[in-house]
Amino acid sequence: MAKLIELKGISKSFDGERVLNSINLYIRDGEFVTLLGPSGCGKTTMLRIIGGFETADEGELLFDGAPIRDVPAYKRPVNTVFQKYALFPHLNVYENIAFPLRLQKVAEESIKQRVTEMLRMVALVGFENKDVSTLSGGQQQRVAIARALISHPKVLLLDEPLGALDLKLRKDMQNELKNIQKAVGITFIYVTHDQEEALSMSDTIVVMAEGEIQQIGTPTDIYNEPKNAFVADFIGESNIVDGIMLADKSVRMSGHTFECLDGGFGKNEPVDVVVRPEDVDVVAPEKGMLTGTVTSVTFKGVHYEIIVDIGGFKWMIQSTDYVAPEQHIGLYIEPDAIHIMKKSKFSGMFGDYSSFSDEIDTLSDADAAEEF
């Protein structure tokens, strides 16, 4: 697939604060790309630069090989589904969707046909004459998608489009969006702070933090082979422990030497070791590679979430078997469950569950949702 959009050394500051720092990225034709990151990481700014709502301070933006940095939004073959939809309140559903075609002075016959086609695609047939303010969030969302797609853009930008919907609807819309993308076959660039959404929809995920790209890869790559502590922590739950690489395929952490599958590090190089909570088995203390005391157990439906204190470091373990708090248990980790990462500026900031609580998690989610 050809490179459709290319960002070369793109930087952007607001009021002296650097929001994007020398971003290099290319996006292929027909891809579903997700820009994923916490609030303030610069993902929305990047989308707005591609859409033409902001101009980069430095760097180049290529579209099909041609520079478009200074091309205004209305001349770009790129359309956007905005976070709060931005439907035009003075127009009804039909006219909202027909809006881009009317600008292009398309013949009435053809407009009618294309709008009907779009309405069918987003399952809103029969809503033509409704006032947009009377629609539910999900319906407004569909109108926004139809309106953005009707003029056959080469790229659709979606800025946290599901943020305002409730959980159930969000899941349905995820599938629907993916289906729409397959049906129209164009590039979707999707911005979200929700890692689950990113993992389930994308061909490629671009993880961002602090105005920089942390990792680019397929969902499985990103989950299984995170490049640094930030990515490991942001995508799913992770225990991130300080370790020392003794030799290829041998790492020492928490006072025990583990066999692993990674290599290529220097001898005795300090590293970050990632172990996913679902990859740890609970065994009897004498059979465990590590032993510790259970400090809390929370029932989560599918599994129990167990916090274990191992020499002062708190691990999170997900297990379908119940263990009691205060119980002394052993942990067993398979070699392929251990992932080694080079030290980065994020080392030591994540992956310890000492201060972990669900409440803090929800709070930070709410913060992220406010960003736009």
Q: Which parts of this chain interact with another protein (CB under 8 A)?
A: 51-53, 55, 72-74, 78-80, 82, 84, 86-90, 99-100, 103-104, 131, 133-134, 147-148, 151
Q: Which is nearer to another protein, 74 or 299 (CB)?
A: 74
47 CB-near residues (< 8 Å, 6+ apart): 35, 80, 157, 159, 189, 191
| Smallest distance, another protein to C-beta of residue 140, A | 12
Answer for the pair 331, 283: CB distance below 8 angstroms, yes or no. Answer: yes
| Smallest distance, another protein to C-beta of residue 16, A | 9
Q: Which two tokens stand for residue 250?
A: 């041998």
| Smallest distance, another protein to C-beta of residue 57, A | 10
Q: Which two tokens stand for residue 217?
A: 């890869």
Q: Which is nearer to another protein, 149 or 162 (CB)?
A: 149
Task: Give Cα separations from 213 to 48, 194, 206, 210, 246 (angstroms).
Answer: 16, 17, 7, 8, 30
Q: How far apart are CA 155 and CA 213, in angstroms?
A: 21
Q: Which is nearer to another protein, 86 or 363 (CB)?
A: 86
H or E stretch covering 49: helix 43-51
Q: How far apart are CA 153 and CA 101, in angstroms?
A: 12
Q: Which is nearer to another protein, 36 or 156 (CB)?
A: 156
Of the candidates 10, 48, 8, 5, which has an alpha carbon nearest to the alpha carbon of residue 30?
A: 5
| Smallest distance, another protein to C-beta of residue 79, A | 6
| Smallest distance, another protein to C-beta of residue 88, A | 6
Q: Which is nearer to another protein, 72 or 270 (CB)?
A: 72
| Smallest distance, another protein to C-beta of residue 167, A | 25
Q: Which is nearer to another protein, 73 or 261 (CB)?
A: 73
